[in-house]
Amino acid sequence: MRSRLVLAGLLALAVPAAAQTVDTTGAGRLIDEGMQRSEVMKNLQYLSDVIGPRLTGSAAARKANDWTSAQFKSYGLDSHLEQWNFGLGWSRGPVQFTINAPFTRNLVAHSWAWTDGTGGKVLTGPVVRVDVTNPDSMAAYKDKIKGAWLITANPTPIWNPDGPVMSAADSAARQELMRRAFGGPPADTSEAARKARQQLAIDRPYLLKQMGALGQLQDGGKEQGLMNMSGSPYAVSPLPRVVIAHEDYAMFDRLIKMGQVPRISGSIVNSFTRAAVPQWNTVAEIKGSDKPGEVVIVGGHLDSWDLGTGTTDNGTGSMTVLEAARILAKSGLKPKRTIRYILFTGEEEGLLGSVAYAQQHAAEADSIQAVLILDNGSGAITGMSLQGRSQDAQLWKDLFAPVAPLDSFVVKDGNKGGTDHLSFIPYGVPGWNYDQITRGYNHTHHSQVDTYDHAVARDLMQASTVMAVTAYELANLAELLPRGAKTPVTPRVVIPPSAGLSKK
C-alpha cells in the first residue's frame, strides 16, 4: 500500500511530458563533435576484430568489460564494473558433421549454446521427424527416437529475396506456414498449463536422451546458409542440439516426406563450468551539475553470440553508447542530471545483466529519468516507438528537433521487444529503444557474418550523435517524467544441470 501511495504522489507532482520545454542549448556543439570527430568506428573495429566474440561467461566478455571501462576513463568519465550472478559457463568446441545418405558431403553445423556435445564420439544415425510436443507423443515415437537425429519442427518459411515480389496471396500463405512452423497460442492458457509446458521444455532434452536420441537438429532459419544462434543457461541440455543451414534442414524434411531416410554422422566437443560464474556490467557516468541524484541511463549490450564477432548485435549499440559519452565529455557541456552509460552483459541469454542491474538499483527507480537503448544493428536512428507512452509523443518530437538535419525522425505508437529497456519498465521507469534503419540486421544478427564488414560508418556517427543530444536534453528537463505502472518482478532461477554434462 505504501508504495502505491508514493507512486500516486509522484504521478500527482510530475509535470506532463508534453508540457515540458526541451532546452536545445548546446545541441550544436554535440552535433559538431559527433559528426566531425567521431571515434565510433575505431572503437568498433577494436571490439570486433581484436576482442572478438563476447559470449556471456567467457574470458572475452570480461576483457570487453575492462577495455570499455578504460575507454570511458580515457574520455574523462568515472567508470567501474558491477557484478551480477550468471548461470553455468559454456564453451564451444570442435564440431564435424557429414551427410552419409542419400549422398555424401560435409554438413555445416554449429552447437546450440548451452547444449552438450557427443564427448568427441562420432554418432551416426538416421534423421527422423518426430512429435515431441507432449509426453504422450514422445512415447508414441519411442522406437523412431532411439539411435536417431531428430527433426522436431517444420522448416522456417524462407522467401527468395531475389525472386518475384511477394504478393498479398504469397504473404498470407507465408504467414500460415510461419504459424505452422512456430505454432499458435496454446489452447489452454491456465497458469497450471503454462507451468506444465515450462517444465516439459526443461525436461524434454533429458527425456529424449534417456530414450536414446543422438541429438536434435535446429533450422538455421535464414537464407543462404546463414545461422541463427541462441541458447541460455536457463535451458541447459544434455542432448546435443545443432543448428544447420535452413537449406539442409528443409532438404532433410522433404526427403523424409518422400520416404527417403537421410543419414548423418556428427562429433561435438563442448564443456560447461562446474558452478555458476560471475559476470559484470560496465558502468560510467558524467555527474549532474544541479540534480546529481537523478539519472538518465544510456545503454546497450556488450555481450554477443560467438559465430561471428558480434559487430551488429550489439557492438554497434555498445560503441555508440561509448561514443555518446565521449561526445558529451569532449563538448564541455554539463548536464543538470547525471547521465549514466551502461554496457550490459547477458542480454542474449534473456536480458540478464540489465534485469540484475534494475533489481540491484530498484530503490533508485523513481530517480531514473529515462532509459535509452540502442540494439537493432548498424543503421541510423529514424525515430522512436513510444512503448505505450503516447503522452510523450510531443516530447520526443521536440527532443529530435535539433538533430533534424541528420534525418527525418518519426515518432509513433509501438512497442519494441527483446532489448534491455524492458528490464526497467516494471519499476515504472520510462524506457525506450530507438528505431533504426535495418541495414541487413535480420541477416547478420546471431549469425556467422555478424562482423565489422557490415557496419555503416555514417549511420553510427549519426546514431551516437542523436543519443548524445537526446540524453542531454532529457537530463536538462525541468521535471522528472511521469512514472509508469509498477508490476511485480519475479526473479528467474537457473535450473541445475544433470551430473552427466561435460564439465571443465
Nearest Cα residue to 112 out of 279, 261, 238, 250: 238
pLDDT digits (tens, 9 = 90+) for 419-462: 999 999 999 999 999 999 999 999 999 999 999 999 999 999 99
E-state strands within 260-413? 263-268, 271-286, 291-301, 337-344, 368-373, 381-385, 410-412
The distance from CA 330 to its chain's CA centroid, rounded to whole angstroms, is 30
DSSP H or E segment with residue 290: none
The span from the CA of 210 to the CA of 135, in Å, is: 13
SS3 of residue 384 by DSSP: strand
Q: Helix or strand or coil: residue 42?
A: helix
Distance CA 299, CA 375 (A): 9
- Annotate 177-230 with DSSP letters as a single string: HHHHHH--S-S--SHHHHHHHHHHHHHHHHHHHHTT--EEEEE--SSTT-----
In this structure, what are the phi and psi dihedrals at residue 86, rounded to the nearest 5 degrees?
-105, 170
* 203 alpha-carbon distance from chain centroid: 25
Q: How many CB atoms lie within 10 A of CB 158?
A: 17
pLDDT score, position 308? 97
Helix pair angle (59-74, 316-331), 10° resolution: 20
Structure confidence at residue 190 (pLDDT): 85
Q: Which of 285, 347, 349, 473 is catalytic?
A: 347
As a whole number of angstroms, the distance between CA 490 and CA 504 comes to 31
- The pLDDT assigned to 4 comes to 34
What DSSP state is assigned to residue 51?
A: I
Would you call 191 a catalytic residue per the annotation?
A: no
CA distance 479 to 16: 9
Predicted local distance difference test score (pLDDT) of residue 158:
84
Q: How far is CA 378 from the centre of its chain?
A: 14
| 208 and 131 Cβ atoms separated by less than 8 Å | no
Place of cell 511521469: 482
Q: Which amino acid is at 218?
A: Q
- Find all residues with CB under 8 Å of 299, minimum gap 6, and list them: 321, 341, 342, 343, 344, 354, 371, 372, 373, 420, 421
> Is 306:92 a contact under the CB 8 Å cutoff?
yes
119 dihedral zone (left: phi>0; alpha: psi -120 to 50; beta): left
How many angstroms separate the CA atoms of 144 and 152, rounded?
12
CA 268 to CA 123: how far, in whole Å?
A: 9
Distance CA 168, CA 179 (A): 17
What local confidence, expressed as pLDDT, does residue 202 receive?
A: 87
**CB-based burial, 107-124: b 16+ in 10 Å, e otherwise:** bebbbbbbbbbbeeeebe
- The amino acid that residue 159 corresponds to is W
**d(C-alpha 379, C-alpha 109), whole Å:** 29
Closest C-alpha among 154, 178, 403 to residue 256: 154
- Per DSSP, the residues of 94-159 read -EEEEEEESS-EEE-EEEPBTB---TT--EEEEEEE---SSHHHHHHTHHHHTT-EEE-SPPPP--
Looking at residue 489, what is its pLDDT?
83
Specify the DSSP class assigned to residue 402.
Answer: G
In residues, how long is the chain? 504
Q: Say if residues 374 and 320 touch (Cβ distance below 8 Å).
A: yes
How far is the CA of 279 from the CAs of 89, 342, 400, in angstroms?
A: 10, 14, 35
Question: DSSP of 300-335, one letter per residue?
Answer: EE----SSS--IIIIIHHHHHHHHHHHHHHHHT---
pLDDT tens track, the chain, 504 positions: 333 333 333 343 444 444 799 999 999 999 999 999 999 999 999 999 999 999 999 999 999 999 999 999 999 999 999 999 999 999 999 999 999 999 999 999 999 999 999 999 999 999 999 999 988 999 999 999 999 999 999 998 887 778 888 888 888 877 777 777 666 667 778 888 888 888 888 899 999 999 999 999 999 999 999 999 999 998 899 999 999 999 999 999 999 999 999 999 999 999 999 889 999 999 999 999 999 999 999 999 999 999 999 999 999 999 999 999 999 999 999 999 999 999 999 999 999 999 999 999 999 999 999 999 999 999 999 999 999 999 999 999 999 999 999 999 999 999 999 999 999 999 999 999 999 999 999 999 999 999 999 999 999 999 999 999 999 999 999 999 999 999 988 766 555 544 456 766
Yes or no: say if 98 and 104 are a contact pair by the CB < 8 Å rule. Answer: yes
pLDDT for the residue 192: 87
